[in-house]
Amino acid sequence: MRHHQAGRAAQAEALYAQVLAAEPTNLQALMLSGALAHAGGRNDQAVALFSRALAVNEQPDLHYNVGLALWASGRRADATRHWRRALALNPNFPQAHMNLGNALREEGALDEAVMHLRRALQLQPSPFAHNNLGLALSAQGRSEAASHYETAIAMHPEFIEPYLNGALDLARAGASADALALVRRSLQVRETAENRALFVRIVGALDRVADDAALRALVTRAAIAQWGPAGGLATVAATLLKHGSTIAALVASADRSAAGPEPFDAAAAIAVAANEPLLGWLLEAEVICDVALERFLTRLRAALLRRAADDPGAIQGEGLRLICSLAHQCFINEYVYATSAEERARATRLRDALAADLRNGAPASAGTVAAVACYFPLSVVVGDAERLLAGRDQASVAALVRQQISEPGAEARCRGSIPQLTTIEDGVSRQVQAQYEQNPYPRWIVAPEPRPSESLDALIRQGLPRAPFSPLGKGGGLEILIAGCGTGRQAIAVARQFPQAQLLAIDLSTASLGYAKVRTDALEIRNISYAQGDIQKIASIGRTFDLIHSDGVLHHLGDPWAGWRALLSCLRPGGVMHISLYSEIARRDVAAARAFIAERSYTGSAEDIRACRDELMRHADGTALKNVTLFNDFFTTSECRDLLFHVQEHRMTLPEIKAFLAASGLVFLGFELDLPTLQHYAARFPGDPAMIDLDQWDVFERDHPYTFASMYRFWVQKPA
C-alpha cells in the first residue's frame, strides 16, 4: 500500500499479486489490484478483480468501482446495472448517484437522470455536481440549467466546463453575443483546447460582427495559432477585415469601383495590406468567400503584377510575403479571379520571361516568381523545384514551390498506387469522374482539428439528445465507409474522431484520391484505406459497416435513390448513416443561374467560369443571379463548376426524402443545423421536441427557403 500511495504501481502490483497467490480471496488485495488495473487502463482485468472481490463480500464501493471499469471499456449497460446495485445497498452514495445520472443523461432518460443528479448535489454539493445537473436540465430544455452553471463557476472559477456548457446553451437560445462573452470570460481564466475550439465555433457562427478591435485581435491570434478549423474563422475574419481594419477603406473603395470608375491607390494598398496579419493568414489558410474582398484582391494582384513587371527587385520584405500569400490564395482558388486582356497579356509575358531565364540558368527575382504564381501554377513554368529554388533562401518562396510543384507531383505519383475497388461503367458516373479529374475536389489547406469522440453513441446523443436513437453499444472499434470521400478532409476528420475505427474511403476521381492520400500520410493517419470505386456497385465488395457517410454525393448519380439503396445494403442492422442532399427549395437561385448559363452558352472551362462569375457578380444584390455569390462554392474554379456547371444534379424535397425513409424502414434521427435555426424551429413547433417531424420541417423550409442552403444534412439509423 505504501508503494501504491507513492505512485510506484509496478512494485505495488507485484506485492498484491503475492498476497493473492497465497490468499486468493483477500478482499483488500483484490480491491487495490483492481484499482491499479483501472488506473492503468487495463479495464477488463479491473472488472475481473472487482468481480472476485464482490464474490467475497458485496459492498457498494465495489459495485461503484466495477461500474467505472465497465464504463471505460464500453460496457455501458453493465456499468449502470452495478451503479444501481450500489445505490440499492447505499441510497446515500453521492458518487453513484452522480455517475448513474450522467449515464442516464447520455441514454436520453432525462427525468431519471435529473432525479439522481439532484440527489448527488444534495448529498455532496460541489461545482461538478452543479455542472452535471445543469447538463441534464439543459437537455430537457430547462432554463434552470444556467443558474447551476453560474453556481459552479462561483464555487470554482478555474473550472472551465460550466463556462462552455453555459455558452452552448446561450448560443442554442440565439443569444450569440452573450455566448461569446461567456467563452471569452473562460479564456481569461485559462486557455484550454475546449474553450479555444468553442470560441472558434461560436464566433464563426455570428450573423454580424461589430467593429471590435479586441475581438479582431483575438480572432487574429486564434487564426494564427490554429485554435480550430480555418473554415470556422474565415467568414468572421473576412467581416472584421471589411470593418475597422487597416484595409477596410481600401476594400470598400475596390468594391465601389465595380459599379463605376473609382481611383485605387495601388501603392497604399500594397503597403497597408502587407502589414495586416489577419489578411495574411486568411490568404494562406482558406479560400476567401467574399465578393468585396475578391474585388480588392483582384486589383491588388494587378498592382503587384505591374510592380513585378516594371521593377521585380522592388518587391522585398513585407511586400514579398504579401505577394506570396496572394499567390497561395490564387492557387487554392484555382485562379478563379477575372483578368482583363491587358493584365492577362502582361502576366503571360512575365511567365514566358521567367521560363526562359530558368532554361538559360539566368537568375530570376523572388518577386517575379511570386507574381507569376499569382496567375499560373509554377508547375506549368518549370517542373524542377530545385532549379526554381536555386540561390533563394526565402521561406515564403519555398512554401510556394512546395504548394505548386512538390505537392502536386507527389499527388500525381500517388494516383497510381490507389487500388480500384469496383469498375466505373455507368455513363453518368464516367462523366462525373471526368469532371473531378480536372482538379482535386475540394482543395483544402488546413486539416480539421482532432476531436476524438468517446463513442458513436455519445456523439449522436450529444448532437441529437432527443433523437429516437438505439445505441450501438460499441466503443471505438467501428467499421466506417466514406462514400464519395473527395480529397479526404471528411475522412481525416472521422478517422481522428474515432481513432480505433477502420475506414474505407472511396471516390470516382483518382486526382482527388491522390490529394487525399498524400495529406493523410503527411498527418500519419493509419486507419484510412483509400480506393477508387462507384457507389452504385458498392454491394459487390462484400463488406458491411457500422457507420456510412455520404455527403454531397448521391445527388450527382444518375439515380440517387438507387445509389442510396446500394449503400443501405452495406449498412449493418442498427448501423447509422450520415447523408447530405441538395434541397430543391434552397437551390432555386442555383437553378436560375444554371438557366442563365445555358442561355449565355457558357461552358465549364476555366475561362468561361471566370467570365460567368464576373457577370454574375455585377447583378444587383438580392436578385437570384447575385444570390449564388452567397455560396462558398462560388469562390473556386472547381467548386463553382460543381455548383453551377455540374454534368449531373438532382435536387430533393423533404416529402421525397420522407417517402424514401419510410419505404426503406429507416429511422430519421435529425438534421445538423446551426443553433439559431434549431431554436427557431423549436419555438415554432414545440410539439416536436426531438425535431424529427419532416412534415413540419417542410412547412418550416417553405417559410424559410434558405434553411438548407448548405444541403439537407441529417442522420438516419437502420433498425437492429
Residues 22 and 109 both lie in one domain = yes
Answer yes or no: is 518 within a domain.
Answer: yes
Task: Point out the domain boundary residue: 353, 384, 414.
Answer: 414
In-domain check, residue 559: yes
CA distance 546 to 147: 39
Last residue of a domain, one of 384, 414, 444: 414
Angle between helices 291-310 and 230-242 (to 10 degrees): 80
604: left (phi over 0), alpha (psi -120 to 50) or beta: alpha
Residue 486 lies in a domain: yes
> Is residue 125 within 8 Å of 154, Cβ to Cβ?
no
Cβ-proximal residues to 148 (8 Å cutoff; 6+ apart), any chain: 130, 131, 133, 134, 137, 162
In a shared domain, residues 278 and 410: yes
Q: Determine the Cα–Cα distance for residues 84 and 87; give it in Å rounded to an integer.
A: 5
Q: What 3 state SS string does 387-445 have?
A: HHHCCCCCHHHHHHHHHHHHHHHHHHHHHCCCCECCCCCCHHHHHHHHHHHCCCCCCCC
Residue of 720, 643, 483 whose CA lies nearest to 578: 483
> What total number of domains does the chain contain?
4
472 touches 546 (CB < 8 A): yes
In a domain, 198, yes or no: no
**Within this chain, do residues 564 and 599 fall inside the same structural domain, yes or no?**
no
d(CA 684, CA 691): 11
The 10 Å Cβ neighbour count of residue 311 is: 11
Report the pLDDT value the prediction gives residue 229, as an integer from 0 to 100: 75
pLDDT digit string, tens, across residues 337-390:
999 999 999 999 999 998 888 888 777 788 999 999 999 999 888 766 566 665
Amino acid at 472: L
Judge if 118 and 161 occupy the same domain: yes
| 3-state class (DSSP) for residue 158 | coil
Is the domain of 255 the same as that of 365? Answer: yes
Domain match, 315 and 438 both: no
Mean pLDDT of successive 10-residue segments in the chain (720 residues)?
92 94 94 91 91 92 93 89 96 96 89 96 96 94 94 97 95 87 96 92 82 89 86 88 88 76 78 92 93 95 92 84 95 94 95 87 85 93 66 74 87 90 92 88 76 85 88 86 95 93 96 94 95 95 96 95 97 97 96 95 94 94 94 94 93 98 97 85 93 98 95 96
Q: What is the pTM of this model?
A: 0.80
7 and 30 both lie in a single domain: yes
Name the pairing type of β-strands 479-483 and 502-507. parallel
- Residue 661: how many other CB atoms lie within 10 Å: 17
What is the DSSP pairing of strand 712-717 with strand 502-507?
Answer: unpaired
Residues 554, 595, single domain; the answer is no
What CATH number has the domain bearing residue 106? 1.25.40.10
Secondary structure string (H, E, C) spanning 174-227? CCHHHHHHHHHHHHHHCCCHHHHHHHHHHHHCCCCCCCCHHHHHHHHHHHHCCC
Q: What is the dihedral sign for C-alpha 151, 154, 159, 161?
A: positive
pLDDT value of position 710: 87
**CA-to-CA distance for 250 and 247, rounded, in angstroms?**
5
Same domain, 320 and 462: no
- Tell me the sheet residues that pair with 583: 652
**What is the DSSP secondary structure assignment for residue 492, as one 8-state letter?**
H
**Domain contains 214:** no
The percent of the chain in helix, strand and coil, each rounded to the nearest 5, is 60, 5, 30
For residue 207, being part of any structural domain is answered with no
CATH number of the domain enclosing 659: 3.40.50.150
- Quick one: cell of 251? 476594400
Distance between CA atoms of residues 83 and 340, nearest Å: 73
Domain check: are 563 and 598 in the same one?
Answer: no
The reported pLDDT for the residue numbered 258 is 65
* 712 beta partners: 581
Residues 552 and 656 in one domain: yes
Is there a single domain that holds both residue 669 and residue 621?
Answer: no
Residue 108, in any domain of the structure: yes
Query: Residue 318: which of 363, 354, 269 has the closest Cα?
Result: 269
User: Is 420 within a domain?
Assistant: no
- Give the integer Cα–Cα distance in Å for 97 and 225: 40
What is 258-280 written as a DSSP string? TTS-----HHHHHHHHTT-HHHH
Nearest to 351 by CA among 376, 316, 329, 319: 376
Supply the range of the domain harboring residue 103: 2-189
pLDDT attached to residue 393: 56
